[in-house]
Amino acid sequence: MANHDDSGKKSSENEVPTFNAENLQSNMKVVYYSRTFMSIIGGVIAGILGFTGLMGFVVYLLVMAITSVCLTARAGFSIHSYFDSWNRVLLDGFLGGLLSFVLFWTFAYDIVHIF
């Protein structure tokens, strides 16, 4: 067979929706890479601009919101043919990206403003 299917069950529905888990995993990887890259770029930008404290986290939220919108646009606004729920594309790499963002933000701020 060309593809093998895994079934995903939702307990509250009558029918069992099946989807191709291999493609779902590949889509999740794409989302994760995109978010990590944008977090890093956003971190360096926040460091260069000299933001400290809460303003930097506002920058992070902004960058993540823009990334989410662009990911949704890339999926053609029909999320259900590429992912099984909205949370996956909107919230998935959020905390991991936050850590990368803070790391590169501190890094860039130190290099540009302190040394």
Partner 1 sequence: MSVSFAVGVLAVLMLLHAAYSTIQYRALLKITEDEFTGPPYEVLVELILVLILSLFAGLTVPGNFRSILPDSDENRVVSLPSNMNFMIFNHRGKAFPTESSLKLILN
Interacting residue ranges for partner 1, rule: CB under 8 A = 1-3, 5, 18-21, 23-24, 26-27, 29-30, 33-34, 37-38, 41, 44-45, 48-50, 63, 66-67, 70-71, 74-75, 81-84, 108, 111-113
The least distance separating partner 1 from the CB of residue 113, rounded to whole angstroms, comes to 7
Can you name the residues that pair with 6 across neighbouring β-strands?
19
Q: Report the candidate in 60, 58, 55 with the shortest Cα–Cα distance to residue 103.
A: 60
The least distance separating partner 1 from the CB of residue 99, rounded to whole angstroms, comes to 18
Contact criterion met (CB below 8 Å) for 104 and 40? yes
**Rounded Cα gap, residues 101 and 113, in angstroms:** 17
Residue whose CB is less far from partner 1, 23 or 91 = 23
